[in-house]
A and B are shown apart, each in its own frame.
Chain A
Amino acid sequence: MADGIYRKILHARLRGQLSYRGSFLLDCLAQAIAQGGELVVILVLFNRITALGGFSVTEVLLVYALASTAFGMSDLFAGQLNALPMYIREGTFDVLLLRPLGTLPQLMASDLPLKRIGRVFSGLVVLGYALLHNDVVWTPWSVGLLLVTPVAGAVIFSGIWVLACSVCFWLVDGQELANTVTYGSNTFTSYPISVYSGWLRRLMAFVVPGAFVAYYPALALLDKTDPLGAPAWLGWVAPLVAALVAGLAGITWTFAVRHYRGTGS
């Protein structure tokens, strides 16, 4: 029953933004250009070198595409959390508390920025290209992994987003900090983690479980051993990691909202 409510909300949001057709098209274009920029960086890099952290250009593109698709999907919903400081400052968060629905789903459904679907789309195009140019062994298992990975990745990103944005209930200026983690983890996950230095790698792979979004699943798809020596099964546990992150995010959000209701703005 609740799904029906959110479907209606999202549907109405879509109609709302289509009423500004011109700005919608411009936004899509801007999004595509930004996305193209990231690709150009990878391609320029490989113009100078032939391997990056033990990975060829097509392998890096696979990692990039998986991360980008997952981030794009997460951005569609969790991206709305960027508006949280505004909700808190203007008191509109109170309005969410006055409705018989959870605050987090209401916030995530508060907008459906269609322009961001461009990122998912271009991620899928690069993914298709990377899959065609890599030696992927096609088995029912690898197909399953390929389908599950972007979804699990999107859940991991969304969880990170919720965790990071919960900071805003304590620090209204916490958005900058939160963005470092959310957009930062997107940039991080777009490259094989072997290119990063030790501490950053450990932090981003396990504390913020970004490596499970694309790197480990990509290794499994390519049937490649980790140059850093991590066990191969790590490529298969992204859904589990996603469930853990989502659970932790849910608990943190509940705690944060309780704090808000306990202190007020």
Chain B
Amino acid sequence: MIEVRDLRREFRVSEKAGFLRRAHRTVAAVDGVSFDVAAGEAVGYVGPNGAGKSTTIKMLTGILVPTSGTVRVSGVDPSRQRKELARRIGVVFGQRSQLWWDLPLKDSFELLKAIYRVSAPDFTARLAECVELLELGPFLTTPVRQLSLGQRMRGEVTASLLHAPELLVLDEPTIGLDLESKERLREFLAELNTKRGTTLLLTTHDLDDIQRLCPRLMVIDHGTVLADGPLADLRAEVSPDRVLVVDLEDAAPPLDDLPGVTSVRLEMGGKRQHLAFRRDVTTAAALITAVAARAEVHDLAVVEPEIDDVVRRLYERRHLGAECR
């Protein structure tokens, strides 16, 4: 569905260098990115601000022309076959609307139907499906300018799906939404991916979006891909440690001498202990047995590192690597 090879995009930045003089400097926003996305995948594309996410998205959707490298999306070259691509993919920008702000939502959909030349039966069926699943009914005749952000986003997603694209690209789709709207949108997108087989590529700052929607995660920083793979693998790669939290009946000294335990943090004077352990040395089950042999256990839980931690560690590792070089 998406094929990207050695993609590079430079920008010229001008800076003031004295009175009327400008110094130009070339900055690579995307610096040699390669990846493939197969049909039916759901991929999260994350990274800090300025990492090159939006620039990549703009090249994938035909808005920007790459400085070098090749891109193929849905079988076409986005920069050369912009209009052809437009018929095959859907794009949702969280920050900019594709709807006509002073028209009722329904009228915007009608216009898109004409623009994408969607047949009447297809249009009716697709719209009915979105109206039902995204609960658009109550505000279908409201002008877009009067919609809440959550309602508008549901409208945007519907607008991008009326021509039944094979690929849906979402740039920050959940930005600014409240929890309920976020959850409703995620549920809809997950269903779109699994049931209809629409390929999803989304950028986000909200890692819950990834956790919920994307079996595969790509992390980008400074224009290059730092990591690409299933979330679980990335987790294992950056933090081999897992944490066993045990609540003991009575306070005990730190259980740091158990096999595989790398560090211990105490809470409530030793009644609760966070035991970090190497999963390649011991298993949670073995450790639980070892703990139970030493003290009476009241409650316990195994904690996976948070996805935020995983991404943060990926960034840190990269920066450490840069310093060593």
Residues of A within 8 A of B (CB): 1, 4-5, 8-9, 12-13, 15-17, 19, 90-92, 94-95, 97-101, 258, 261-264
Contact = CB atoms under 8 A, between A and B. Distances in A.
B45 interface: no
B62 interface: yes
Interface stretch (B97-105, B173-181, B245-253, B296-304): B97-105
A94 B63 contact: yes
A12 B100 contact: yes
Contacts of A100: 83-84, 86-87, 115-116
7 contacts: A5-B114, A5-B115, A19-B102, A94-B58, A94-B63, A95-B97, A101-B115
Interface range for B: 20 to 34
B213 to A, nearest CB: 22
A214 B142 CA distance: 46
Contacts of A101: 83, 115
Contact of A262 (B62, B65, B86, B115): B65
B103 A16 contact: yes
A3 B65 CA distance: 29
Nearest to B91: A98
A12 B109 CA distance: 11
Contacts of A19: 102, 143
Contacts of B61: 97-98
A94 B93 contact: yes
B102 A17 contact: yes
Interface in B53-91: 55, 58, 61-65, 79, 82-84, 86-87, 91
Given A98-B98, A100-B116, A264-B11, 10 more contacts: A12-B111, A16-B100, A16-B103, A19-B102, A94-B96, A95-B98, A98-B62, A101-B83, A263-B11, A263-B12
Contacts of B62: 97-98
Contact of A8 (B11, B102, B111): B111
B95 interface: yes
B110 interface: yes
A98 B86 contact: yes
A15 to B, nearest CB: 7
Interface string B112-126: 001111000000000
B96 A97 contact: no
A4 B111 CA distance: 11
Contacts of B84: 100
Interface string B149-173: 0000000000000000000000000
